[in-house]
């Protein structure tokens, strides 16, 4: 129990540092690019996840332990390759080959969308205060190490993956099935590595859907989306 409390205190301290960094990001960017609603209002839309001792949490932890026991070296390598949030990770799902095309309009838009999603997901994380799975279950051995001390719900990684899938589906609807599959894979890598619960991933997907729907109401977003869409479709020869 003392070990659990030490982990809790360390996580809360790290969350304060990360929250300060997000505040700096908001100040630097003069707030979100495309979103107008308050981050706190967005966060309040999510029901609290089950607590560390809840039966539902135990089921999710057992699922992660089973995945850990079955994971292969190839799966770990793929999960680590998806550690970074980069729009290029979704180019194969769009139909591009091994050589990534130069798409500056899409790159700028994807970065701005990621900035906004990060701010609002952080607000939801700070409200839920859910510990990472390996902080509750010591038998879990994460295969990535860049998430220690951060909070778990919703998954920012899943939110990023789904936000890119929704963004790109609006540009190339013909590839919607491939983009959905890639977003699911991108999010699931966090379970492979034992750093997120399944319910974290679902909350990330919901967060992305809500935030992209709100962004589509913004005229600046629509203008940038239109330019990026023309760029992508031209590169695909569509």
Give me the DSSP letters along 105-130. Answer: HHHHHHHHHHHHHHHHHHHHHHHH-P
- How big is the chain by its Cα radius of gyration, in Å? 18
Q: What is the pLDDT of residue 12?
A: 40
Task: Please give the Cα distance from 8 to 11 (Å, whole number).
Answer: 5
Task: Please give the Cα distance from 21 to 44 (Å, whole number).
Answer: 22
Q: What is the pLDDT of residue 148?
A: 66
In this prediction the pTM is 0.85
Q: What is the pLDDT of residue 112?
A: 98
Q: What is the pLDDT of residue 93?
A: 97
Q: What is the pLDDT of residue 44?
A: 97
**Total of domains in the chain:** 1
Mean pLDDT by 10 residues, the chain (238 residues): 45 40 43 94 96 97 98 96 94 90 96 97 97 95 79 96 98 97 97 97 98 97 97 94
Here the tokens at position 23 are: 């505040």
Task: Please give the Cα distance from 63 to 108 (Å, whole number).
Answer: 38
Q: What is the pLDDT of residue 199?
A: 98
Are 49 and 128 in contact by the 8 Å Cβ rule? The answer is: yes
Q: What is the pLDDT of residue 238?
A: 82
Q: Which range of residues forms the domain containing residue 149? A: 2-236
Q: What is the pLDDT of residue 28?
A: 41
Task: Please give the Cα distance from 137 to 64 (Å, whole number).
Answer: 10
Q: What is the pLDDT of residue 3?
A: 45
Looking up residue 121, the CATH number of its domain turns out to be: 1.20.144.10
């Amino acid at each position: 129990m003392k070990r659990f409390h030490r982990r809790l205190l360390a996580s809360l301290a790290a969350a304060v540092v990360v929250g300060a960094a997000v505040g700096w990001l908001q100040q630097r960017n003069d707030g979100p690019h495309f979103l107008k609603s308050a981050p706190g209002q967005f966060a309040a839309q999510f029901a609290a996840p089950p607590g560390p001792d809840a039966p539902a949490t135990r089921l999710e932890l057992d699922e992660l332990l089973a995945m850990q026991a079955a994971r292969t070296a190839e799966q770990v390598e793929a999960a680590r390759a998806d550690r970074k949030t980069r729009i290029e990770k979704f180019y194969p799902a769009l139909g591009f080959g091994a050589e990534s095309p130069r798409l500056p309009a899409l790159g700028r838009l994807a970065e701005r969308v990621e900035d906004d999603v990060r701010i609002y997901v952080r607000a939801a994380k700070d409200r839920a205060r859910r510990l990472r799975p390996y902080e509750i279950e010591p038998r879990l051995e994460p295969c990535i190490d860049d998430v220690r001390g951060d909070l778990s719900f919703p998954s920012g990684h899943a939110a990023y993956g789904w936000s890119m899938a929704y963004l790109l589906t609006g540009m190339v609807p013909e590839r919607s099935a491939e983009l959905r599959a890639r977003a699911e894979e991108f999010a699931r890598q966090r379970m492979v590595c034992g750093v997120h619960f399944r319910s974290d991933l679902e909350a990330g997907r919901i967060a992305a859907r809500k935030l992209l729907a709100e962004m589509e109401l913004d005229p600046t977003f629509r203008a940038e989306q239109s330019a990026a869409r023309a760029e992508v479709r031209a590169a695909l020869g569509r």
